[in-house]
Amino acid sequence: MPMDRTTGELLGAATRHSAGRCVALCLVSVTATGAGLLLPAALGRTLDLLIAHAPAARWVLYCAALVALLTLLDACETVLAGTLDARTAAFLRRRVTRHVLAVGPRAADRFGAGDLVARIVGNAAQAGTAPGARAALLAALAGPLGAVVALALVDPWLAAVFLAGAPVLTLLLRTLARDTSACVADYQRSQGRIAAALAEAVAGARTIRAAGTADRDTARVLRPLPELSRAGLRMWRVQGRAAAQAVAVAPLLHLGVVAVAGVLLTRHRLSAGDVLAASRYAVLATGVGVLVGRLSGLVRSRTAAARLGEVLDQPVPAHGERRLPADGTGRLELRGVTARRGGRTVLDGVDLVVPGGRTLALVGRSGAGKSLLAALAGRLADPDAGEVLLDGVPLAALPRDELRAAVAQAFDRPALLGGTVEATIALGPPGRTPSARRVREAARTARADDFVRRLPQGYATPCAHAPHSGGEAQRLGLARAFAHGGRLLILDDALSSLDTVTERQVTDVVFGSTTTATRLVVAHRAATAARADAVAWLDGGRVRAVGTHRELWRTPGYRAVFGAAPAGEGPR
């Protein structure tokens, strides 16, 4: 079964991570197979002694000991396989999650948040069974091969009869591996599309509820369901067909071995015990059902690992070693910036300068590229062409810690990470954690201090247990941005859920003279744009105009961005 290099390296690393358990599971599985191969010979010998009325107590004890050993080994194999799968899945999740965090928002842009969750949760669990499946498959292969060798030791004719039908079994397994791989890949891709659509619907639940489009969005989420069903049915049909064919072939081989053994018995070349042993070895040799299950499990795990490999193939942004000038004012410059998303050019040759310490509002219709430009300014994304500079230094040339210390960002739906509310606000680059006093000052500036103090444990309240509305979440995100400061403050629709009074209070700080940082604000309201030093009007992937809100308001197209039609209406 072909694997790309990334998938092979990932499974190799996962196997090495749990090498001890893999070796133990392999040894236990092979020992159990060996004990299972010894049991038919012991039973045959015991039967011959009983027929001859010879003392057989010792051989009966041997048989009982082998049965007890098989029971013990089966229990050990179950425990080892379970812990190995869990340990490997945890390793894969940590590795892929670290890579996703290193790649940044580009990963979500490439796969979608829902699909990423499906890969990290579901596919990692499936891929985590690969080392155990390999060990189990080795034991499953050792059983039939050992049984064929045992048949040859009983009598070469018995092995010859079985090997005559072995090519048919080999063809069945090869076809199963090929067909199962294709079906499982289709199934997992459909799962990913459903997860991605569901994540989008959950993120926009309030908008969907307000627009009354729940039925339409439900249909959109479930649209891949028929394809998922077809892929699942194909997968079960493939396995069912393989099992049915194996059931048709295996009994014929078993009967052939038993028939030849009976003939040899009549010619006194075999004893009754040998016939019993040969019958049991024929069953073990034709154990295709076990092989089908093991092989199917390995195919599913490797297909899931390939989906994780697609995530790991996403390149991590490179960082340079240049430092920002100590006397820099936060001057932001975009030179010939072009950015594409989904094959569409969203920004096309954008040139823009934001003087240090000034405030620029980004204005434009939905899809004009405001959020993408804000992401480029904070290097949450890289342009396809052109470059973005801060105080004359390209963002790509800055070390990660320097970049993240210089740029503070707040979003419309902030990710509130951290154990407590205080830790959430203080979350930032390593070694630059703000003091408790600074955290509380930032919370007061973002008008979050009042509702945080009303929480059961105040700032020590676990963030996951702190109930908060959309506006309160935005205030915590703003507090985090204010707590870390920096040369450049980027607000990507970070005021959209605030009530009018709170928005006014926060914008007094953002647009006031209390901060020296350069501010880039994605604005959807005319009142917000009116308070900025300048406005950049994005239209058709380009900067259509730059000026004050009052100047641009004279243009009908600009007014239309805010839904304002009257030509004589003044700026708000």
Residue-wise pLDDT for 316-348, tens only, equals 888 899 999 988 889 999 999 999 887 788 999
Q: What is the pLDDT of residue 572?
A: 44
**Total length of the chain:** 572
Region(s) of the chain under CATH 3.40.50.300 = 332-561
Alpha helices in 5-112 (DSSP H): 5-17, 19-51, 57-103, 105-111
CATH number attached to the domain at 7-312: 1.20.1560.10
CATH number attached to the domain at 332-561: 3.40.50.300
Residue type for 15, please?
T
Query: Dihedrals φ, ψ of 157, to 5°?
Result: -65, -35
Q: How far is CA 300 from CA 8, 117, 230, 388, in A?
A: 14, 18, 17, 44
| Number of CB atoms found within 10 A of residue 321's CB | 8
For residues 381 and 111, give the distance between their C-alpha atoms in angstroms, rounded to a whole number: 15
Helix (H, G, I), strand (E, B) or coil at 352: strand
Tokens (6 digits) for 200: 């989008």
Tokens (6 digits) for 383: 């342009």
Helices 225-266/272-285 angle, 10° precision = 160
| Number of CB atoms found within 10 A of residue 20's CB | 9
Task: Please name the helix (run of DSSP H) or strand (run of DSSP E) that holds residue 278, with its range, or none.
Answer: helix 272-285
Q: What is the pLDDT of residue 207?
A: 61
Alpha helices in 267-342 (DSSP H): 272-285, 288-312
Region(s) of the chain under CATH 1.20.1560.10 = 7-312
Q: What is the pLDDT of residue 331?
A: 93
Q: What is the pLDDT of residue 246?
A: 61
Query: Dihedrals φ, ψ of 524, to 5°?
Result: -110, -10
The four Cα atoms 24, 26, 32, 35 give a dihedral, to 10 degrees, of -100
Q: Is the pTM of this model over 0.85?
A: no
Number of helices (H), then strands (E), in the chain: 23, 10
What residues in the chain have per-residue pLDDT under 50?
Answer: 1-2, 565-572
Residues 6+ apart with CB under 8 A from 368: 538, 539, 540, 541
